[in-house]
Amino acid sequence: MQETLALVTGAAGGIGEAVTRLLAEQGTTVAAVDRDAERLTETAALLRKEGLAVTEFAADVTSSSAVERLVEEVETRLGPVHQLVNAAGVLRLGPAHTLTDEDWTATLSVNATGVFHMSRAVVARMIRRRTGAVVTVASNAAGTARAEMAAYAASKAAATAFTKCLGLEVASYGIRCNVVAPGSTDTPMLRGMHTAETAAQASVAGRPDQYRVGIPLGKVALPEDVARAVAFLLSDDAGHITMHELTVDGGATLG
């Protein structure tokens, strides 16, 4: 039987690393992609030491030519990509009226355009093979207004809408495209917002200047919580699920 190959972006740390680890533990071969080449090499080496089939490919998802070259290289070296996880992302916080042009462009070019570049390159190949699954890691901020997150939320809403439209177009080829929308998750991105502790406290309690609502389950997610949702949507267990947005936020924006 042919081995399953997944390409995971943002794999150097946080949610992307947790997805890479979980998929590899489940027997999937993983092409781990990130623009932070140094951290990616460390992460992949660590996972390989544990016997996991992970190969690193440094690339920046904002460059369409780099993404096209990357996917070609991955398929030449490892074989056809069956699963794509778009987890690379950036967060620039600030009131909308103070965001710079650079804040806006940097956010949209990774979180929205990067998802477009990767999905286009991989799905074009999946269509020829008439099989595949895509999961985009967006955010619950895409659907619920939050202070200081205008650029981020707009980029995640774009990525969510793009992934659902793509899912409609490629459903007849047997390709499923879904979205996982995490809430606050304990990763370097969240820690970068404040100190780890204050970010977690603010998330859980729902401080109104930062968050619209708190987290009913009373804790921020671990990267592994999000990774399990991603792995489920990629798997045959989700074989009849496409164009779905699965929120993993402890109930913060649900109900």
Among 188, 216, 218, 239, binds ligand NAD (CB under 6 A): 188
Q: Give the number of C-alpha atoms closer than 13 A to the C-alpha of residue 81, restricted to the C-beta side.
A: 30
Pick the catalytic residue from 133, 134, 137, 152: 152
DSSP state of 141: G
CA distances in angstroms from 238 to 24, 70, 91, 137, 175, listed in the order given = 18, 28, 30, 16, 12
15-34: contacts with ligand NAD (CB under 6 A): 15-16, 34
- Which amino acid, one-letter code, is at 207? R
DSSP H stretches of helix in 79-187? 101-108, 114-129, 150-170
**Closer CB to ligand NAD, 4 or 9, in the complex:** 9
Extract the runs of DSSP E, i.e. beta strands, from the chain.
Answer: 5-9, 29-34, 54-58, 83-86, 132-137, 175-182, 245-248
Please give the structure tokens belonging to residue 183: 């809430």
Among 5, 6, 7, 12, binds ligand NAD (CB under 6 A): 12
- What's the min distance (Å) between Cβ of 160 and ligand NAD? 11
81-100: contacts with ligand NAD (CB under 6 A): 87-90
Among 4, 8, 10, 158, binds ligand NAD (CB under 6 A): 10
> Per CB under 6 A, does 110 bind ligand NAD?
yes
> Per CB under 6 A, does 13 bind ligand NAD?
yes
211 is catalytic: no
Nearest to 25 by CA among 65, 7, 52: 52
Nearest to 61 by CA among 133, 138, 117, 135: 117
**Closer CB to ligand NAD, 36 or 127, in the complex:** 36
Farthest-apart Cα atoms in the chain, separation: 55
> Per CB under 6 A, does 36 bind ligand NAD?
yes
CA–CA gap between residue 198 and residue 224 (Å, rounded): 21
> Per CB under 6 A, does 4 bind ligand NAD?
no
> Per CB under 6 A, does 182 bind ligand NAD?
yes
Binding pattern for the stretch 195-214 against ligand NAD, x by CB under 6 A and - elsewhere? --------------------
**Closer CB to ligand NAD, 53 or 189, in the complex:** 189
Nearest 5°: the CA angle 117, 71, 104 is 25
Please give the structure tokens belonging to residue 157: 């809403």
Binding pattern for the stretch 118-147 against ligand NAD, x by CB under 6 A and - elsewhere? -------------------x-x--------
**Closer CB to ligand NAD, 131 or 195, in the complex:** 195
Catalytic site positions: 152
Residues binding ligand NAD (CB under 6 A): 9-10, 12-16, 34-36, 60-62, 87-90, 110, 114, 137, 139, 182, 184-185, 187-190
